[in-house]
């Protein structure tokens, strides 16, 4: 299962897993997220990723248009799975908003916590018990480099993403001895709509400006982050749990 699957890292993860022959349930809200103003993907975007995954060799692909920040997503996921137990859950859904720490509007702060943090929790609630019963599984949350270093005007986003790190590490502790692992990937500046929105927060001409902050002096592509995530989904990562893995071109080094 992949959330935030209609574009960006989520879509890249889905396409990579499809190429490895996985069955996939792709989840995205595909709707505006006020007060965030940058464009969100549409149901047509999600369907396009589904078509790509089928063409790439996925054994099965299902779509679920649902808001991961709404607790009702738990039942929607259970219904969409139809009794299947996910071998891996990747929570890539996220939103960003920028303002000084003391000036974040309540609705923006609540949105970032609801989607970025509660969205991870809701998927764990929906999927982890069955994974425990099966004795195997991978839970991978996408956090951010903003959880690992100070970034101006991103206090609410950093708070949510930092909480994801704490939540998933504690989840890994609760999963001790079950055969289920839980890990976090913290991407750096990755090309896409969210990074373009970040550039607007700082009044920058475009997202490419962020390349100068990383040791590699370039932005990441969503596929580069997806490579790490899909590796965590596979057998070679069986010994890793409770880890926080930066994939950030050296941004937090």
- 87-129 confidence digits (pLDDT tens): 999 999 999 999 999 999 999 999 999 999 999 999 999 999 9
Provide the 10 A C-beta neighbour count for residue 80: 18
| Mean pLDDT of the residues in the chain | 97
Per-residue confidence (pLDDT) for residue 7, from 0 to 100 = 98
CATH classification number, 2-247, choose in 3.40.50.720, 3.50.50.60, 1.10.40.60, 1.10.579.10:
3.40.50.720
Overall pTM surpassing 0.75 (yes/no): yes
- Partner residues linked to 61 by β-bridges: 24
Cα dihedral angle (232, 16, 127, 31), rounded to 10 degrees? 130
Provide the 10 A C-beta neighbour count for residue 186: 26
For residue 69, give both structure tokens.
């920040």
Burial class (CB in 10 A: 0-12, 13-18, 19+), 225: buried
Per-residue confidence (pLDDT) for residue 62, from 0 to 100 = 97
Question: Are residues 112 and 156 in contact, defined by beta-carbon separation less than 8 angstroms?
Answer: yes
Per-residue confidence (pLDDT) for residue 240, from 0 to 100 = 98
Instruction: Please name the residues in contact with 6: beta carbons below 8 A apart, sequence gap of 6 or more.
Output: 26, 28, 30, 41, 42, 45, 46, 49
Instruction: Please name the residues in contact with 212: beta carbons below 8 A apart, sequence gap of 6 or more.
Output: none
Per-residue confidence (pLDDT) for residue 252, from 0 to 100 = 97
Per-residue confidence (pLDDT) for residue 159, from 0 to 100 = 98
Q: Nearest to residue 171, comparing CAs of 231, 227, 129?
A: 129
Q: Active-site residues: which are they?
A: 157
**Backbone φ, ψ for residue 76 (5° rounding):** -65, -40
For residue 84, give both structure tokens.
């299947």
Residues of the chain scoring pLDDT < 70: none
Instruction: Please name the residues in contact with 119: beta carbons below 8 A apart, sequence gap of 6 or more.
Output: 3, 68, 69, 73, 91, 93, 94
């Amino acid at each position: 299962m992949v959330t935030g699957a209609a574009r960006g890292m989520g879509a890249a993860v889905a396409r990579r897993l499809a190429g490895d022959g996985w069955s996939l349930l792709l989840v995205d809200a595909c709707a505006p997220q006020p007060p965030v103003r940058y464009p969100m993907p549409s149901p047509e975007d999600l369907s396009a990723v589904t078509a790509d995954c089928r063409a790439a060799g996925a054994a099965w692909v299902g779509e679920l248009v649902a808001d991961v920040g709404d607790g009702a997503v738990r039942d929607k996921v259970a219904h969409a799975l139809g009794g299947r137990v996910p071998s891996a859950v990747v929570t890539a859904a996220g939103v960003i908003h920028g303002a000084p720490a003391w000036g974040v509007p309540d609705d923006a702060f609540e949105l970032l916590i609801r989607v970025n943090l509660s969205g991870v929790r809701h998927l764990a609630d929906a999927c982890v018990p069955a994974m425990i019963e099966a004795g195997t599984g991978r839970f991978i949350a996408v956090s951010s480099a903003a959880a690992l270093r100070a970034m101006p005007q991103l206090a609410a986003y950093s708070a949510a993403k930092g909480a994801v790190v704490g939540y998933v590490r504690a989840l890994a502790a609760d999963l001790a001895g079950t055969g289920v692992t839980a890990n976090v990937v913290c991407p750096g500046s990755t090309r896409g709509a969210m990074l373009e929105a970040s550039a607007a927060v700082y009044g920058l001409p475009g997202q490419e400006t962020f390349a100068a902050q990383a040791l590699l002096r370039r932005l990441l592509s969503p596929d580069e982050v997806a490579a790490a995530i899909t590796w965590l989904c596979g057998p070679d990562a069986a010994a890793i749990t409770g880890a926080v893995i930066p994939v950030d071109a050296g941004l937090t080094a």
